[in-house]
Structure 1
Amino acid sequence: MPKLWNETIEAHRHAVRDAALDATAALVTEHGLLSVTMSRIAQDAGIGRATLYKYFPDVESILAAWHERQITSHLEHLTSVRDQAGAPGERLEAVLEAYALISQARHEHHGTEVAALLHQGEHVARAHQQLRALVRDLLAEGAESGSLRADVAPDELAGYCLHALGAAVALPSKAAVRRLVAVTLDGLRPSAETVEPAAADEGTANRTGRAYHPHRGHRHGGH
């Protein structure tokens, strides 16, 4: 079979699949999950029922495919945000804000009923691992540069970020989401004093019999 013909067939398959996914998502958003049928999907997508059944056995499989496509798109967007110019801390903030806004918008458009159905399956677990790795790597870069805290492992902090920003789904506005991101970022910044210098000074104080006051930056003698 000629290459051009193969490409034409493949493009047609993608077009049919995308039409079915788009129609299903629109129907669920407008009418709710229980009102959606294969017949209605085929009608709104402009394809025959027999054609639809060639690609999907039921509504749930279409929703799963749509969700996987959405997740892939979101990860691509977050990756492009990560790759923008700027310091690691700035890029991390941009990624966290983009992630939180995506979470909020997804909840607004599809609600808890669909979310409970969609957040299952291996594709969700894989996507979460990719997202966590993306955030973890930015945290590690920030720790190396000194702009983010280095006393907690980047993987642990990545979990903290994603769990904290999970609250974005219940927030009423983009402004509220940005405030949540700001609070989350506050927990990632290094403290004013690092542990190592303080520990070294305390050791010196013990040897000299003098007390160290970290806020004043000098020792007070006992005389």
Structure 2
Amino acid sequence: MPRVTGGSVAAHRQATRDAIFAAFSSLVYERGYDAVSLADVAAAAGMSRTTMYNYFADKDALVVAFTEAEVTSFTEGLAADLAGAGTPADRLRVYIAAQLRYISRNHLPPGRSLQVLLSPETYQRLLHHVHSMEDTLRGILADGVGDGSFDADVGTALPLVSACINRAGSLGHDDIERETDATTTFVLRALGAVR
């Protein structure tokens, strides 16, 4: 019987999942998503392939679980950061900065690129998480339009703002603060807000 670490079976399972996610993230950064196998992740996490299959049946299951964990952690931190920001413009600044920091540290291919690597069912599950982030942005934009801070149509502005953030994040610049400032300035001006 394998040794249980962490004091309980639940803590052991969570520690193992965390190790798998860390190995997966590191390997995807080094090699790219499509070049990483479950066997690679198992080896990097210090476990056998058999143990890996006790946690994830295939790479699609792993990427969905990884994304769920990442989005949950990100949205909890973002919600705390947004709670301290007053105006819609301030909240948008926080949102852009948080998104660009996250993108700069995480290396799954962006939406459409990932779509060709995953089964349609898995891709749809991942889109659910993307939509939760879009809902946060939609709320910020709606509040700004509602109080007159932004001069835009929310439905039109949402994909444009998202595209600006994703494009800036995909450039891979070393100076994330400069990229954040430039993106924020551009987006706020595009929305008719004064920085």
Output the TM-score relative to the length of structure 2: 0.74
Confirm or deny: 8 A CA contact 2:85 2:94 kept in the other structure. no
CA offsets per residue over residues 201-223 of structure 1, 9 Å max, x none? xxxxxxxxxxxxxxxxxxxxxxx
- 1:133 is matched with 135
- Segments of 5+ residues of structure 2 without an aligned counterpart are 1-6
- 1:179 is matched with 182
| Residues 165 and 9 of structure 1, relative CA distance in 2, 3 Å threshold | same
The alpha-carbon deviation at position 31 of structure 1 amounts to: 4.2
Confirm or deny: 8 A CA contact 2:89 2:193 kept in the other structure. no
Instruction: Provide the C-alpha distance between the structure 1 equivalents of 2:93 and 2:67, rounded to a whole number of angstroms.
Output: 25
The alpha-carbon deviation at position 156 of structure 1 amounts to: 2.8
Confirm or deny: 8 A CA contact 1:25 1:63 kept in the other structure. no
The alpha-carbon deviation at position 186 of structure 1 amounts to: 0.3
- 2:25 is matched with 25
| Residues 110 and 133 of structure 1, relative CA distance in 2, 3 Å threshold | closer
- 2:100 is matched with 100
CA offsets per residue over residues 16-47 of structure 1, 9 Å max, x none? 22222222222332344465444443333233
Instruction: Provide the C-alpha distance between the structure 2 equivalents of 1:124 and 1:42, rounded to a whole number of angstroms.
Output: 23
The alpha-carbon deviation at position 110 of structure 1 amounts to: 5.0
CA offsets per residue over residues 133-175 of structure 1, 9 Å max, x none? 21121222223333222xx332332222112222111252321
- 2:68 is matched with 68
- 1:143 is matched with 145
What amino acid maps onto 1:67 in structure 2? Answer: T
The alpha-carbon deviation at position 60 of structure 1 amounts to: 4.1
Instruction: Provide the C-alpha distance between the structure 1 equivalents of 2:105 and 2:17, rounded to a whole number of angstroms.
Output: 24
| Residues 52 and 148 of structure 1, relative CA distance in 2, 3 Å threshold | same
Instruction: Provide the C-alpha distance between the structure 1 equivalents of 2:27 and 2:172, rounded to a whole number of angstroms.
Output: 25
Instruction: Provide the C-alpha distance between the structure 2 equivalents of 1:82 and 1:12, rounded to a whole number of angstroms.
Output: 33
| Residues 78 and 24 of structure 1, relative CA distance in 2, 3 Å threshold | same
Please tell me whether residue 46 in structure 1 is matched to residue 17 in structure 2: no
Bigger-Rg structure (1/2): 1
Aligned-pair identity in percent equals 26
- 1:160 is matched with 160
Q: Relative contact order (C-alpha < 8 Å, sep 6+): which is higher?
A: 2
Secondary structure of 2:29's counterpart equals helix
The alpha-carbon deviation at position 11 of structure 1 amounts to: 2.2
Instruction: Provide the C-alpha distance between the structure 1 equivalents of 2:189 and 2:38, rounded to a whole number of angstroms.
Output: 48
Confirm or deny: 8 A CA contact 1:82 1:94 kept in the other structure. yes
CA offsets per residue over residues 175-206 of structure 1, 9 Å max, x none? 13421221111011269xxxxxxxxxxxxxxx
Instruction: Provide the C-alpha distance between the structure 1 equivalents of 2:34 and 2:48, rounded to a whole number of angstroms.
Output: 21
The alpha-carbon deviation at position 111 of structure 1 amounts to: 5.8
The RMSD of aligned alpha carbons is 2.9
- 2:4 is matched with none
Instruction: Provide the C-alpha distance between the structure 2 equivalents of 1:50 and 1:171, rounded to a whole number of angstroms.
Output: 36
